[in-house]
């Protein structure tokens, strides 16, 4: 069998400091580059996605320095950004591409953005259409839907948008363009997506008003540099919340994890499934709440997951599916068609991977139906280049009878570069 073999374990114990939040790291780098003055970002995620954002900033003329997970960005205002002399490569990162397009829509020069095979097949019209309506000119494959995308930015007009999907990347791209437009720009979402952009822009001194699912921004604002301390990523912690719940014995402590309510759907669902999870010492820093999370083994039962909670746990569905495969009874996930346009089509790739490991799972048009069992056999599964699948299959391996060989485990580097050494450590 090929790939990295992950052996079954029966107990574990330890403290795991998960790396910095991916969404917040992207925004700290980008807003630091747009701001006037030096922004110090601590606990920056060194995953490939966030490094792509830093590289794009350098190509736009923003200078920064990095030592470990500390990054100092010397912003001279977004007006000082220069036309890059080559394609901006966003790698695997949808957040880099969509937020950069929004930030650059008001710049009077031409940029071409591209990325890897996966990113070049992800829908971009969801951001290029609103940016074009505001005044940017954008061309791309399939009528502007797929990268490579070339944009000529310029004068923008504020607009009122009703977005068809709850997506923080769409909302953020529009707000960043709105910041440079004439007048007011507003975004109404069908359900609330993660609100890190709104929170961090306020920290950088921008007037952003929000009420429930409506956000408004005035054009013409500028950003003042800030210190940003990035909390641990709850999407990375999710793998250990599931492992710690389903392992035979032990306890895991996860200090300093971001618990922004637009991201804590995973905690609510695991607790509804019967998980023994406790939040200790909740504190707010740099506009983002964080807590120490303690998890102990528990018997999990199946649940229904649908509606407005979906955007609050969208990235955790692959690992939740692993949890559901070992829970008592049936779990149904609906209203999650967005999974089809992630790094892979995560409805079909989760079904493919979990079935290969011996789970009973069915594909639904907008989600999954998982029949819980008392054990998972294990076997071989591929990440298919998708970081969250790589880690979900590794956790499944630790919880299986025979272990799992994960093909392309290296995909985990996109959001969790040390993942393998961390699991080796906690599993002894």
Q: Using alpha carbons, select from 264, 281, 273, 280 the residue that is nearest to residue 245.
A: 273
C-beta of 190: minimal distance to ligand S3P in Å? Answer: 12
Of 9, 20, 23, 96, which one interacts with ligand S3P (CB under 6 A)?
23
d(CA 325, CA 370): 6
Choose the binding region for ligand S3P from 64-72, 78-86, 162-170, 364-372 (rule: CB under 6 A): 162-170
DSSP per-residue codes, 43-108: S---SHHHHHHHHHHHHTT-EEEEETTEEEEEEE-GGG----SS-EE-TT-HHHHHHHHHHHTTSS
Tell me whether residue 338 or residue 386 sits nearer to ligand S3P (CB atom).
Answer: 338
Choose the binding region for ligand S3P from 166-174, 184-192, 361-369, 394-402 (rule: CB under 6 A): 166-174
Asked whether position 187 contacts ligand S3P by CB under 6 A, the answer is no
Enumerate the known binding-site residues. Answer: 22-23, 27, 94, 122, 167, 169, 315, 342, 346, 388
Tell me whether residue 4 or residue 50 sits nearer to ligand S3P (CB atom).
Answer: 50
Footprint on residues 300-329 left by ligand S3P (CB under 6 A): 314-315
Integer-rounded Cα Rg, in Å, for the chain is 21
Choose the binding region for ligand S3P from 151-159, 167-175, 247-255, 371-379 (rule: CB under 6 A): 167-175
C-beta of 83: minimal distance to ligand S3P in Å? Answer: 26
Q: Using alpha carbons, select from 103, 143, 107, 152 the residue that is nearest to residue 124.
A: 143
C-beta of 97: minimal distance to ligand S3P in Å? Answer: 11
Tell me whether residue 128 or residue 169 sits nearer to ligand S3P (CB atom).
Answer: 169
21 catalytic? Reply is no
Of 25, 39, 95, 225, which one interacts with ligand S3P (CB under 6 A)?
95
Asked whether position 168 contacts ligand S3P by CB under 6 A, the answer is yes
Site string for ligand S3P, 334-373 (x = CB under 6 A): ----x-----------------------------------
Q: Strands 88-89 and 110-114, how do they pair? A: parallel
Q: Which of 315, 386, 413, 418 is catalytic?
A: 315
d(CA 361, CA 159): 43
Site string for ligand S3P, 240-279 (x = CB under 6 A): ----------------------------------------
Asked whether position 383 contacts ligand S3P by CB under 6 A, the answer is no
d(CA 345, CA 362): 14
HSE on the CB side for 141, CA within 13 Å? 10
Burial of residue 248, with CB atoms counted within 10 A of its CB: 0-12 exposed, 13-18 middle, 19 or more buried:
exposed
d(CA 25, CA 8): 33
Choose the binding region for ligand S3P from 163-171, 317-325, 375-383, 391-399 (rule: CB under 6 A): 163-171
DSSP per-residue codes, 25-40: HHHHHHHHHHSEEEEE
Q: With contact defined as beta carbons under 8 Å apart, do 87 and 114 qualify?
A: yes
Q: Which residues are catalytic?
A: 315
What are the residues binding ligand S3P (CB under 6 A)?
23, 26, 94-95, 167-169, 172, 193-194, 314-315, 338
């Amino acid at each position: 069998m090929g790939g990295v073999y992950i052996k079954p374990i029966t107990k574990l114990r330890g403290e795991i400091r998960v790396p910095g939040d991916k969404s917040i790291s992207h925004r700290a780098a980008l807003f630091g580059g747009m701001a006037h003055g030096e922004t110090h970002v601590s606990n920056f995620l060194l995953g490939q996605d966030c490094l792509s954002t830093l590289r794009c900033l350098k190509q736009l003329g923003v200078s920064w320095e990095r030592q470990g997970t500390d990054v100092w960005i010397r912003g001279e205002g977004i007006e000082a950004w220069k036309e890059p002399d080559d394609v901006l490569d966003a790698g695997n990162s949808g957040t880099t591409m969509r937020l950069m397009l929004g930030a650059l829509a008001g710049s009077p020069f031409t940029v071409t953005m591209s990325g890897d095979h996966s990113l070049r097949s992800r829908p971009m019209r969801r951001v290029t259409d609103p940016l074009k309506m505001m005044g940017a000119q954008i061309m791309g494959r399939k009528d502007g839907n797929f990268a490579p995308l070339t944009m000529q930015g310029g004068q923008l007009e504020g607009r009122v948008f009703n977005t068809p999907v709850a997506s923080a990347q769409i909302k953020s791209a529009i707000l960043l363009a709105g910041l440079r437009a004439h007048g007011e720009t507003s975004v109404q979402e069908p359900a609330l997506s993660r609100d890190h952009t709104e929170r961090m822009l306020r920290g950088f001194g921008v007037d952003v008003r929000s009420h429930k699912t409506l956000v408004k921004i005035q054009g013409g604002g500028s950003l003042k540099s800030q210190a940003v301390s990035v909390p641990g990523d709850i999407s990375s912690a999710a793998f250990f919340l599931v492992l710690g719940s389903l392992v035979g014995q032990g306890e895991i402590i996860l200090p300093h994890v971001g618990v922004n309510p637009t991201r804590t759907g995973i905690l609510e669902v695991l607790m509804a499934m019967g998980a023994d999870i406790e939040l200790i010492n909740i504190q707010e820093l740099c506009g983002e709440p964080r807590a120490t999370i303690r998890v102990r083994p528990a018997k999990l039962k199946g649940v229904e997951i649908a509606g407005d909670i979906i955007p609050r746990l969208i990235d955790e569905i692959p690992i939740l599916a692993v949890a559901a495969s070992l829970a008592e009874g049936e779990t149904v996930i609906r209203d999650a068609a967005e999974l089809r346009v992630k790094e892979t089509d995560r409805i079909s790739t989760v079904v493919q991977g979990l079935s290969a490991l011996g789970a009973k799972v069915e594909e639904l048009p907008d989600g999954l139906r998982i029949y819980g069992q008392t054990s998972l056999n294990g076997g071989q599964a591929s990440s298919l280049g998708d970081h969250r699948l790589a880690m979900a299959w590794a956790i499944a391996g630790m919880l299986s009878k025979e272990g799992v060989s994960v093909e392309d485990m290296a995909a985990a580097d996109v959001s969790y570069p040390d993942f393998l050494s961390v699991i080796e450590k906690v599993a002894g």
